[in-house]
Amino acid sequence: MTRLFTDGAEMKDLLFFSGFGTFSPSVSSATYASGVASYEFSYSAEAAYKNLAADETEIYFRERVRDNASNNASTFVAFRKLTNTIAKVTVDALGRWIAVIGTTTVDTAVETMAKDTWYCLEVWYKLAAAPNGRFVIKIDGNTVCDYTGDTDPSAYGGIDNLYWVQAGGSVPIFYIDDLALNDTAGGSDDSWCGGGRIIKITPDGNGGTNDWDGSDGNKVDNYLLVDEYPSDGDTTYVYADGTAAGTEDGYAMSHYDFTNKTIERIWSEARGRKTSAEAATLLIGFDTGASENTDDVGTLYETYSTRLLSAEYTTNPDDAAAWEEADIDALEFIAEVG
């Protein structure tokens, strides 16, 4: 798979981002495109960036974006090398979508951005010298800007982070939601991300295995201790001995009505930490009722400082077929000591 990230602010924290500008954005639980939250950039110099694991030369990006002004020249997304802006998507003084390379506008849309309206913004950016560079912007599936030429005029050679910044003082506010990024390697998820929406299902009952301890002093109804969004840190939680490999906790999950929806991918996500510098391995994932599917979340820290993620599953691993609503209804979330 070549999906580099998928995120929808559903955990109601800022751990998706790698860092911030002079001020950081916030999470809005009142204005969102999908699910229960979005990221809000509401004051001048509120900025955030997302680092990529490696330099990318061709990417497909998606987000939903909404602005309370029709001519806010904030950066709705920029592709950067270090702190150098290679290209960005914004609007001009007339509210028209524009494609900017460096500081030069290379294409201007006829279409304008209306205020207080959600748009699905998709971008294809191919970093190359003329005539091979491409910068294409789609709004709600329609191409509004399409530039072919030199898209790497300063010879940066690669994109290593994405960047968002509010630049209009204290009045304009913009929101982003339903973010996704593909590169072009690997033979899947290597083109347009499409109009996906991100929602979460949450623990709402006991699963088949309840072997972790709860902060309430027992192993009973642990699902009640892990259902807060955002995480309340060390107020309510479950825990296990990091040396007790195979120890599991499972939670039945809430149901969601997928009528007229296609389930394109699922993943498990959590917040957690270890309590000492000793090495520890945490697996998270899901039980379909027929199989357990867990993945190492990577490095654990002594603070709640990272998104803990499983792999993304685009099909049901039991039959390699597309996900169905009944499959999702049957899932249990699993946390396991590795």
What CATH number does the domain containing 150 carry? 2.60.120.200
Query: Do 35 and 166 belong together in one domain?
Result: yes
| pLDDT tens per residue, range 94-105 | 999 999 999 999
**Chain-wide mean pLDDT for the chain?**
96
Contact criterion met (CB below 8 Å) for 336 and 282: yes
Q: Which residue in 224, 199, 198, 163 sits closest to 18, CA to CA?
A: 163
Domain boundary among 151, 182, 213: 182
Residue 188 lies in a domain: no
Q: How confident is the model at residue 61 (pLDDT cuts 50, 70, 90)?
A: very high
Predicted model pTM: 0.97
Residue 187 lies in a domain: no
Number of independent structural domains in the chain:
2
Q: How confident is the model at residue 301 (pLDDT cuts 50, 70, 90)?
A: very high
Query: Do 297 and 235 belong together in one domain?
Result: yes
Query: Do 170 and 207 belong together in one domain?
Result: no
Take residue 9 and report the two structure tokens written for it.
């602010």
| pLDDT tens per residue, range 310-336 | 999 999 999 999 999 999 999 999 999
Q: Which residue in 76, 70, 89, 71 sits closest to 47, CA to CA?
A: 76
Residue 191 lies in a domain: no
Q: Which residue in 61, 15, 14, 60 sits closest to 41, CA to CA?
A: 14
- The pLDDT of residue 169 is above 80: no
Predicted pLDDT at 237: 98
Residue 85 lies in a domain: yes
Element (H, E) at 333: strand 332-337
Query: Do 129 and 232 belong together in one domain?
Result: no
Take residue 266 and report the two structure tokens written for it.
């699922």
Average of per-residue pLDDT across 225-237: 96
Predicted pLDDT at 204: 97
Query: Do 12 and 157 belong together in one domain?
Result: yes
Query: Do 128 and 19 belong together in one domain?
Result: yes
Q: How confident is the model at residue 70 (pLDDT cuts 50, 70, 90)?
A: confident
Contact criterion met (CB below 8 Å) for 76 and 65: yes
Residue 196 lies in a domain: no
| pLDDT tens per residue, range 30-56 | 999 999 999 999 988 999 999 999 999
Predicted pLDDT at 186: 79
CA distances from 79 to 19, 38, 48, 94, 157 (A): 15, 21, 12, 23, 12
Contact criterion met (CB below 8 Å) for 238 and 249: yes
| pLDDT tens per residue, range 105-138 | 999 999 999 999 999 999 999 999 999 999 999 9
Query: Do 239 and 174 belong together in one domain?
Result: no
DSSP 20-82: ESSB--EEESSS-SSTT-EEEE-STTBEEEEEEEEEESEEEEEEEEEESSSS---EEEEEEET
Q: Which residue in 170, 19, 145 sits closest to 88, CA to CA?
A: 145
Query: Do 167 and 261 belong together in one domain?
Result: no
Average of per-residue pLDDT across 8-29: 97
Q: How far apart are CA 70 and CA 151, in angstroms?
A: 27
Query: Do 148 and 225 belong together in one domain?
Result: no
Site of tokens 């030199």: 150
Query: Do 100 and 227 belong together in one domain?
Result: no
- The pLDDT of residue 182 is above 90: yes
Query: Domain containing 93: what range?
Result: 3-182
Read off the amino acid at residue 258: F
Q: Which residue in 196, 227, 151 sits closest to 8, CA to CA?
A: 196
Average of per-residue pLDDT across 165-177: 88
Query: Do 121 and 233 belong together in one domain?
Result: no
Residue 194 lies in a domain: no
Average of per-residue pLDDT across 57-68: 98
Q: Report which DSSP code applies to 328.
A: H
What φ, ψ does residue 329 adopt, rounded to 5°? -60, -30
Q: How confident is the model at residue 1 (pLDDT cuts 50, 70, 90)?
A: low
Residue 190 lies in a domain: no
Contact criterion met (CB below 8 Å) for 68 and 177: no
CA distances from 71 to 119, 164, 239, 298 (A): 15, 16, 49, 42
DSSP 80-128: EETTEEEEEEEE-TT-EEEEEETTEEEEEEEEEPPTT--EEEEEEEE--
Query: Do 178 and 208 belong together in one domain?
Result: no
Residue 195 lies in a domain: no
